[in-house]
């Protein structure tokens, strides 16, 4: 059977399509459920769980370091991934400006804290006084190369969540309460 010959029109149409496809807006990759029952974003930091190193890497990249505490079966954790991080605008802003490290509130992986103490995730959560999930801790520079927690939050609706990311990234917390800042800077997601 003879092979079909590609026409010039078919080749040109294929080239045009190939040029257009990369320019089309892409939805973020869907969160996947990991072995420990937590939803994970493909762009989350894969780490040796040394918060000092992770903070320095984020700082070197010009990003804010964020620790995301979650728990298997947490309905608000699922919403964070399936609604907030599934929004292309939120995902793009988060990836561009933050390094997210996900930790399990009751996990057993060893984590090295900023002071060099190594504890299982569960004990680290207790040390950090993390009480609910999802909780996001944001760490910024303080004196020299050390990190200090600049704030924490739990689940927020998409517009408030994007606002909170911008509030933290712009260090607006230094001058304005979040609610006041958000009213003056409504987010469109």
**pLDDT tens sequence across 107-156:** 999 999 999 999 999 999 999 999 899 999 999 875 545 566 666 777 89
* CATH architecture label of 42-156: 3-Layer(aba) Sandwich (3.40)
Q: In which region does residue 99 sit, left (phi positive, over 0), alpha (psi from -120 to 50) or beta (all else)? A: beta
Q: What is the pLDDT of residue 25?
A: 47
Instruction: Give, for 33, the enclosing helix (H) or strand (E).
Output: strand 32-33
What does DSSP assign to residue 66? E
The CB-side HSE value for 160 (13 A sphere, CA atoms) comes to: 9
pLDDT at 189: 85
Q: Where exactly are the structural domains of the chain?
A: 42-156
Task: Dump pLDDT digits (tens) for 15-40.
Answer: 444 444 444 445 556 788 888 899 99
Tell me the CA end-to-end span of the chain in Å, nearest whole number: 55
Residue 68: pLDDT over 90: yes
């Amino acid at each position: 059977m003879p092979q079909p010959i590609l026409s010039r029109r078919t080749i040109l149409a294929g080239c045009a399509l190939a040029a257009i496809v990369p320019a089309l807006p892409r939805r973020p990759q869907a969160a996947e459920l990991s072995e420990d029952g937590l939803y994970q974003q493909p762009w989350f930091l894969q780490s040796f769980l040394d918060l000092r190193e992770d903070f320095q890497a984020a700082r070197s990249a010009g990003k804010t370091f964020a620790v995301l505490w979650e728990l298997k079966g947490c309905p608000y954790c699922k919403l964070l991934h399936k609604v907030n991080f599934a929004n292309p605008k939120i995902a793009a802003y988060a990836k561009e400006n933050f390094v997210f490290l996900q930790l399990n509130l009751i996990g057993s992986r060893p984590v090295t804290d900023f002071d060099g103490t190594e504890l299982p995730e569960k004990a680290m959560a207790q040390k950090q006084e993390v009480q609910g999930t999802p909780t996001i801790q944001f760490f910024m520079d303080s004196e020299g190369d050390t990190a200090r927690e600049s704030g924490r939050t739990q689940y927020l609706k998409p517009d408030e969540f994007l606002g909170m990311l911008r509030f933290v990234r712009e260090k607006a917390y230094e001058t304005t309460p979040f609610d006041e800042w958000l009213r003056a800077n409504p987010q469109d997601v």
